[in-house]
Amino acid sequence: MTGRYLSRILRLFILLSLGLMIAGISDLLLSGSDFLIKMGIYLLIFTPFAGLLIICFYSKIEGKKWEFLLSFLLLLFLLFNLLSAYFF
Amino acid sequence: MLIFLISFLAGMLGSLLGIGGGVLIAPSLIVFVHLPVRTAVGTSLLGVTATSVTAAGIYIKRKMTDLKLALILETTTIPGAALSAFLASRIPSKYIGSVLGFVLLYVAGNMLRKSQAVPDESTPGSRKNLILAALASFSAGFLSGLVGIGGGVLKTPILHFLVGLPFKAAAATSVFMVGLTSSAGAVHYMARGDVDYPVAAVVVLGVIGGAYLGTRVIKRAAPLLLKKIFSLVLALMALKLFLEALK
């Protein structure tokens, strides 16, 4: 179940990001704004984080203790990494 | 257009071999777009993340990725990378680079020599030497952080030789791990403003196309051919490290 939902989320996010990027390039050429490109990039960067959230959530539901613990650890690392990049 | 094509090729190689593809993208951005080194690396990390996410989504659907193993090894890779960031200024990285160059050459040779003994490619293999693999992942994180190369070139051989995964499963698992590491690195470059967003959009579009094609090709590609290509990439990477050590 974890793999199925993880795969769906990754493919959905990459598709949304791709759409935003294509719209962003058109917007950049027409109006000179890179807002949509930035949104696409932020969505792309958030995707592994969302993937870990999915693993964490479904491994908890399925009672996979080790997968839950490891994904939770990695989530904490990514969160700390994000905070350290922007605030420290 | 040239950057799009190079990114396409990098995305394809990245998804086929389980490496990020940054080794192709970053130098191209410096040479052809004249981006400063930091901006080129930050922009290429976004391309690596896109390659990884695109390929990982498809490989996980095909059940080629060993998620638990990826989580275990990634948990040990990250402290290695963090330690290298802490010690980077105290260790002469060019000498470490040449040592790593020899390691890559050895792995490339081994990959070619043992390529006939291919385990069953349809299912992930047994998990032998897991503790050794965890230690190797820690070292891979440490070395890659120190000499500034992506982890994929080391992760795929670790998963293939030490853990015993078939080559395609090793590449699929490695590409998932690379995504986590590269997105963590890219955040720092974005926060510092070291990303060229319009160029990044072209790179991302290219690598997504290439990575998607790579996931199609891997189904039909012979593991022996993939190993030969991977050995060539490792040898080129070793050459680059030796040249940097000589500077």
Instruction: Say how many CA atoms lie within 13 Å of B41 toward its Cβ.
Output: 10
Instruction: Compute the radius of gyration of chain B from its Cα atoms.
Output: 17
Chain-centroid distance of CA B221 in Å reads 19
Q: Does A78 touch chain B (CB under 8 A)?
A: yes
Question: What's the pTM value of the predicted model, to 2 decimals?
Answer: 0.84
Looking at residue B123, its pLDDT comes to 46
The torsion angles phi and psi of B125, rounded to 5 degrees, stand at -80, -175
How confident is the prediction along chain B (247 residues), in pLDDT tens digits per residue? 788 888 888 887 777 777 777 777 877 788 788 888 778 888 888 888 898 899 888 889 888 888 888 888 888 887 777 777 666 666 666 666 777 777 778 777 777 776 555 554 544 445 567 888 888 888 877 776 666 566 777 888 888 878 888 888 888 888 888 888 888 888 888 888 888 899 999 999 999 988 888 888 887 777 777 778 878 887 887 787 777 777 6
Q: Does A20 touch chain B (CB under 8 A)?
A: no
Among the partner residues A4, A37, A47, nearest to B53 by beta-carbon distance: A47
Chain-centroid distance of CA B202 in Å reads 20
Do B195 and B42 meet the contact criterion of CB atoms below 8 Å apart?
Answer: yes
Among the partner residues B74, B191, B201, nearest to A74 by beta-carbon distance: B74
Q: Which two tokens stand for residue A8?
A: 């769906």
pLDDT digits (tens, 9 = 90+) for A27-83: 989 998 889 999 999 999 899 889 999 999 988 888 888 889 999 999 998 888 888
Do B47 and B28 meet the contact criterion of CB atoms below 8 Å apart?
Answer: no
Distance CA B140, CA B143 (A): 5
Lookup result for tokens 């027409």: A30
Distance CA B73, CA B137 (A): 6
Chain-centroid distance of CA B180 in Å reads 11
Lookup result for tokens 């959009």: B201
Distance CA B104, CA A71 (A): 30
Q: Looking at chain B, which residue has its C-alpha nearest residue A87?
A: B191
- Those residues of chain B whose CB sits closer than 8 Å to some CB in chain A are 46, 49-50, 52-54, 56-58, 60-61, 63, 65, 67-68, 71-72, 74-75, 78, 179-180, 183-184, 186-188, 190-191, 195, 197-198, 200-202, 204-205, 208
User: Which ipTM did the prediction report?
Assistant: 0.91
Residue B161 carries which DSSP code?
Answer: I
**Rounded to a whole number, what is the distance in Å from the CA of B185 to chain A's nearest CA?**
9
Distance CA A40, CA B67 (A): 26
Among the partner residues A7, A77, A78, nearest to B60 by beta-carbon distance: A7
Q: Looking at chain A, which residue has its C-alpha nearest residue B50?
A: A44
> Which residue, among A66, A34, A40, A5, has the nearest Cα to B127 in the 3D structure?
A66
Size of interface A-B (CB pairs under 8 A): 119
Who contacts B140 (Cβ-Cβ below 8 Å, separation ≥6)?
A: B77, B80, B151, B154, B155, B158
Which residues in chain B touch residue A81, judged by CB atoms under 8 angstroms apart? 184, 187-188
Domain containing B36 equals 2-246
Sign of the dihedral through C-alpha B35, B38, B43, B44 = positive
Tell me if B183 and A78 make a contact (CB, 8 A cut-off): yes
In this structure, what is the dihedral angle of CA atoms B43, B49, B52, B57, given to the nearest 10 degrees?
A: -130
Coil, strand, or helix at residue B91?
coil
Do B80 and B138 meet the contact criterion of CB atoms below 8 Å apart?
Answer: yes
Domain total in chain B: 1
Distance CA B18, CA B52 (A): 8
**Rounded to a whole number, what is the distance in Å from the CA of B189 to chain A's nearest CA?**
8
**Rounded to a whole number, what is the distance in Å from the CA of A61 to chain B's nearest CA?**
16
> Which residue, among B83, B81, B89, has the nearest Cα to B181 in the 3D structure?
B81
Q: Does A75 touch chain B (CB under 8 A)?
A: no
B/e letters for B152-167, b = 16+ CB within 10 Å, e = fewer, are bbbbbbbbbbbbbbbb
List the Cα angle A51/A57/A62 in 5-degree steps: 120
Tell me if A45 and B74 make a contact (CB, 8 A cut-off): no
Q: Looking at chain A, which residue has its C-alpha nearest residue B176?
A: A48
Looking at residue B228, its pLDDT comes to 81
